[in-house]
Amino acid sequence: MISNRAFITAICVFAAIAWAQHKLANTHRVSTDSIADTSMMKDAAACLVFDDTLLLERYADYRKHYQALVDGSQGMLPFIQSFALGGNSRSVAMNESLACSISYPQLLYPKSDPLVIAVIKYSETLDTLRDRTFDAEALYNQPRPDIERARQLDADLAQDMHQLQQRSLAVRKHFEEPQFLARSEQLAAIDYRLGHDQHWHTLNFMLLARQTINYLNRSEANARLSPDDLKALYAELVDAWLDAELYFNTMPNLKSANRKRPVWTVIKAPAHTWLATLDTLQQRWAAHADVDQLNKQLRAVEQGYDQLLMRYNASVSGQY
């Protein structure tokens, strides 16, 4: 359901490096494999982006070939040239530089680490899917692909894609949790030192927004969601937005770092638009709208959050 938005792209790369640095700082032995182990997490972060972008495009292209074969019009389409993920001599892909793979030599960190466990399981699923894509390329590059073999392979690929999605969610969760915790601690520190100042109001809203996206994200893990829960999250966000507006309206000449406009004044418009989109989703959900309509509105919520987050990140990076 939820895509590799700007948050995932940025957070996974950052968290991968931060996680590795944290582990290195707390280990009791000096290792010559630290670069390789950090690379494992970077590989995983890159693959998370890959499996929600290029892989989906390749899978969609493959499905066109499958449907054409079943419909009897397979000869009208060109043979698949880039479905396989690469990294294996069996691949007939023309551009293997786009392949995604995770390498993990003898691990510096214990395999009991939740992130390591999640990455290894994710990598194993990716390897299984890779083997299936080799089979698909070989089959569909034959003059007359066997339809029964194609049907079985299609079912296997669908199952592999679903499992990859589930395991990628687990990796993303472990990547994100430390960063979210750090931001929450930062919010508490601001409150302790400065009270509810401009930085607190802005960060508070962004954390609540992320919590809401995380809640919607749980549907991919088959968790039970309800419009009432979303309504409560929406109410929290509205209160945070109104509190921030009240604070900044009483201080119209307030400046942020480097004497620039406060970050809130940059994001409040997209934040308000996003809240309206979220409200529409909640109301349609409560009214039992059809699935297609809800999915369309959900995508609008995701895209609105993307835009909000990009504005926030651009503004923060330009000031601090």
d(CA 299, CA 17): 30
How confident is the model over 243-266, as pLDDT tens digits? 999 999 999 889 887 788 899 999
Structure tokens at 173: 């969760």
**pLDDT of 21 strictly over 50:** no
Angstrom distances, CA of residue 316 to CA of 171, 265, 311: 26, 12, 9
Which stretch, 117-126, 127-136, 152-161, 219-228, has highest mean pLDDT?
152-161
- Direct distance between the N- and C-terminal alpha carbons of the chain, in angstroms, rounded to an integer: 33
Find all residues with CB under 8 Å of 53, minimum gap 6, and list them.
4
Instruction: Return the axis-axis angle of helices 198-217 and 147-194, rounded to nearest 10°.
Output: 160
Residue type, 136: A
The pLDDT-based confidence of 84 (bands split at 50, 70, 90) is: low
Tokens of 66: 């499958």
**In this predicted structure, what is the pLDDT of residue 2?**
39
**Residues 20 and 34 sit within 8 Å (Cβ to Cβ):** yes
Q: Does the pLDDT of residue 218 top 90, yes or no?
A: no
pTM, two decimals, is 0.60
